[in-house]
Structure 1
């Protein structure tokens, strides 16, 4: 065997905004070796994964699997599972939840030992916080299509790009 994998059966990537129905756009990062510098640089590839239930939201880290045959011109993979929901950071080695550079249970233990900081609101309670998506259609619009249409100026407007109008 040559040691080169010809097919990418399963990939992990991050979900991005898109307008395709029943699909999720996933950006997969690969590290490519530059032969001259002997350094690895990131190279990104976008895939469309079949997601009929619209489970995947923008920012989620997901696992996708290549379909035996393409569904459409764009959709080549299917969504296997959501590995990490956006905003809910989990350390992949320990499996513990994190906030910035600290584990949540360490933060909880520190506040129990030393008390809350003076003048603070008591901190955020991660254990009782609702899951992401509870504010859909109020403050969270990640489930909707992004704005795609540019402004159209009327003929005669100074920013109108029609050469016949000037």
Structure 2
């Protein structure tokens, strides 16, 4: 039974989240699954990690992406490829209605309320906001190479995980 499931996984698309990785030529994707505990008859979350081929560098850390298995493994680790970015990080879209969301409300409802009661100076305007990535190198370090910190030194490196 388990062998059939593993074969079926290779044929379908998987939905996962991009996480920081040490590998320079690949993207690491976390796919969340539910695994049945036979003794308790309860499902528990299990994370599986896949290294994916991303030649165009489409996804950044935090993006929700679709991945598909490659017909032949590129390397021992790289077994999948990134098909598309479904939801960029920080730009939440309701999957049923297709409307943009801010916290627990639709953005258009927030705009309608601002028209009725007057807009405050402290409210954030999503239409005028620049796209993600405009602060690369200043506050957004997702494009920088990351590595695992094995030793503690006097100087602190912000790119280490």
Task: Quickly name the TM-score band, shorter chain normalised.
Answer: 0.7 to 0.9
Whole-Å Cα distance in 2 between the matches of residues 148 and 39 of structure 1?
Answer: 35
Whole-Å Cα distance in 2 between the matches of residues 39 and 108 of structure 1?
Answer: 43
Q: 2:101 aligns with which of 98, 101, 118?
A: 98
Whole-Å Cα distance in 2 between the matches of residues 152 and 145 of structure 1?
Answer: 19
- TM-score, normalised via structure 1 length: 0.82
Whole-Å Cα distance in 1 between the matches of residues 99 and 31 of structure 2?
Answer: 24
Displacement of 1:100 in angstroms is 0.9
1:109 match: secondary structure? helix
Tell me the matched-pair count: 147
Match of 1:148 in 2: 148
Q: 108-117 or 143-152: which moved more?
A: 143-152
Match of 2:158 in 1: none
Whole-Å Cα distance in 2 between the matches of residues 95 and 31 of structure 1?
Answer: 26
Whole-Å Cα distance in 1 between the matches of residues 16 and 146 of structure 2?
Answer: 20
Report the CA distance shift for 1:16/1:78 in structure 2 as closer, same or farther (over 3 A). same
Instruction: Indicate the structure (1 or 2) with the bigger Cα radius of gyration.
Output: 1
Displacement of 1:19 in angstroms is 1.9
State the 4+ residue runs in structure 1 displaced beyond 4 angstroms. Answer: none
Displacement of 1:127 in angstroms is 1.1
Match of 1:116 in 2: 119
- Contact kept, 8 Å, 1:22 with 1:53, in 2: the verdict is no
Displacement of 1:152 in angstroms is 5.1
Match of 1:37 in 2: 40
Gaps in structure 2 of 5+ consecutive residues: 155-161
Question: CA offsets, 1:70-89, max 9 Å, x none?
Answer: 10111000000000000001
Q: Give the RMSD, CA atoms, in angstroms.
A: 1.6
2:40 match: secondary structure? coil
